[in-house]
Structure 1
């Protein structure tokens, strides 16, 4: 009776905490050591528990993206742990076998909680190619808006260099910047980043917070390799990922996946492990990204007074407000927006190339598909991807 009462009180407290969640968008990266729970096999009870926590968060309004390792470990288990060389083709083969198995597990487990799961395989080039970047961003935004859980993995079967780096850590950092996540949670089998090796130094302590602009050299030196031997990363890849994500405006928490209800408690505002503070706001990071695609030639979009007023009030640019398109540019480029007075008042990332935009000048959003035969978005430039001169 006492134990039941304690469980009830704990759940009641947890539910109350969930109602005051601190984040809107969270990226969760689960490493191989977490998925296997330190063993050689995919640990189903562990995955069931993580599924329960993520589903609980999603049912309470948090948009979650899951970056999951474990495909190679799952493939090795399916083949009954064959003795393979450590060369890349062997890992690619194991990944190709294990990835469908891992996804089938996720789909079945989340289905029990009424959550639809999607799979997205990415490589680093999908973030450096602007068209691929836009496609990935739009797809993820669409999935999250429908309360679908994207499960993302490095496309290991073709990523011959990334697979060597445990690049799902770095992948999770890029994804965090892509969707403007508030928090990136890197689950591991450690309590955080220690100031020295805890296996050899009994006095080793967890570094609680890193908020300096540059990560101190001592922190890099303290980051060690993977103790389990199952993953391809280690703490060093997590520190690298944290350094990338924090410059995109995302907070990072390296935490132990074995802590009970770790994800629910983090979502409720509790702190665990090592926290990396962002060096930039999301807006500042977005501006930097936009300016990397800036067209220095005469490419511009001239708009009417109504469009100027709408944009200055926080709205997006629609084709109906466009009067003229000048110069050549591709989808994903950043171009100038010119008002009726001839002055530039904003720049933004376009969803349509100049040749397509010429065809839809002055049209309503619902007329785009009928004219072009397809549509990328109702907005020519979404306000979230503008820099407005105010």
Structure 2
């Protein structure tokens, strides 16, 4: 049984393990104070889920916004990297303390995990995080997870907790992700347009769905937007995990959204295996390989990427790095672990197997990206 409707988010049979993402605008007032009464009501919903037999993982924003207020930093702590890191260091204490206190009042134990992009991009560290989350859930704790903004830089960070929540759901073996936002869900056009209509169900994300999204956070406090939420839905969907966007501004937001049947549910279209789930969720490729139309068709049929089909190489990467594979039109087709360096790929691009040994100085490998180390996007 899998989640296919909002009502199933509270059904332990369909959703035994739920990942709940809370945005900054929901937790923190514009002045920088915590919306404690709202959070207390949400913790009540988490306690009810636990009483039903569901396990819950929380991905919580808010550290930068809270810390910026305490330090008196302009721009909500996002004026520059140094401000964001300092604000996060201060705010994370307040954030974790609030979660721990309110969960304890409901008889629940909170656990804090701070993750960087590298923690989930690296296979060994991803498995370590997965093991830790599993152990905490087995012991009845509620993991509260945030990006480690005190040490993350622009080059090594998620930049939004929407995609982090989807990656955490993959690592945690979640059944559904709920993104609590400041909007009701995905609309077919700009929500400010009076003619805009809520899209209640999405089966597969294509260009028409992407065209409905607009970037940016309406609150000015968060770092995400609808574009990041669609990316999160794609990441979750590759693991067979449903993702819902609901309005979190109301008290008891999950129950309110379910009662009103108001929100957007993205239904997963496939269920990759464990390693390919990790691979498909990675978001920091080191380069791009562009392929011709014949190669693109072959990849779609399950073939490995061969040098003969490569028509362009961008970026500098080493063997084993993550690369994205694009069509000649620029469409993202797949991503995987490359078997050659960027220089070697340039040397053999477009060449048949019989020509490659002389160019490389050694016998060529079976593929530029083997299908066992590649996932279609």
> Given the two structures, how large is their TM-score scaled by the length of structure 2?
0.66
Shift, 1:40, TM fit = 4.1
Q: Given the alignment, which residue of 259, 262, 276 partners 1:288? A: 276
Other-structure match for 1:368:
none
Shift, 1:78, TM fit = 1.5
Other-structure match for 2:28:
36
SS of 1:136's equivalent in the other structure is: helix
Q: Given the alignment, which residue of 225, 228, 245 partners 1:254? A: 245
Q: Unpaired segments of 5 or more residues in structure 1?
A: 1-16, 293-390
Moved more, 28-37 or 95-104: 28-37
SS of 1:225's equivalent in the other structure is: coil
Q: Given the alignment, which residue of 106, 110, 125 partners 1:113? A: 106
Other-structure match for 1:226:
217
Shift, 1:87, TM fit = 1.3
- In structure 1, C-alpha distance between the alignment counterparts of 2:132 and 2:145, rounded to whole Å: 12
Residue pairs, 1:1-390, within 5 angstroms: 22-36=14-28, 40-82=32-74, 86-161=79-154, 166-199=159-192, 201-212=193-204, 214-264=205-255, 271-281=261-271, 284-286=272-274, 288-289=276-277
Other-structure match for 1:386:
none
Shift, 1:290, TM fit = 8.2
- In structure 2, C-alpha distance between the alignment counterparts of 1:42 and 1:98, rounded to whole Å: 11
SS of 2:83's equivalent in the other structure is: helix
> Given the two structures, how large is their TM-score scaled by the length of structure 1?
0.64
CA separation of 1:76 and 1:207: change in aligned 2, threshold 3 A:
same
CA contact (8 A) 1:206 1:273 kept: yes
Shift, 1:248, TM fit = 1.4
Shift, 1:140, TM fit = 0.5
CA contact (8 A) 2:68 2:91 kept: yes
- Deviations along 1:167-216, whole A, 9 cap, x unmatched? 211111111111211100000010001111122x111111111102x433
SS of 2:273's equivalent in the other structure is: helix
Shift, 1:128, TM fit = 2.2
CA contact (8 A) 2:42 2:251 kept: no
Moved more, 74-83 or 182-191: 74-83
- Deviations along 1:141-162, whole A, 9 cap, x unmatched? 0000111000000011111126
CA separation of 1:210 and 1:19: change in aligned 2, threshold 3 A:
closer
Shift, 1:239, TM fit = 1.2
- In structure 1, C-alpha distance between the alignment counterparts of 2:219 and 2:278, rounded to whole Å: 40
- Deviations along 1:87-121, whole A, 9 cap, x unmatched? 11111110111001110111111110010001001
Shift, 1:60, TM fit = 2.2
Q: Unpaired segments of 5 or more residues in structure 2?
A: 1-8, 281-377
RMSD, matched Cα: 2.6
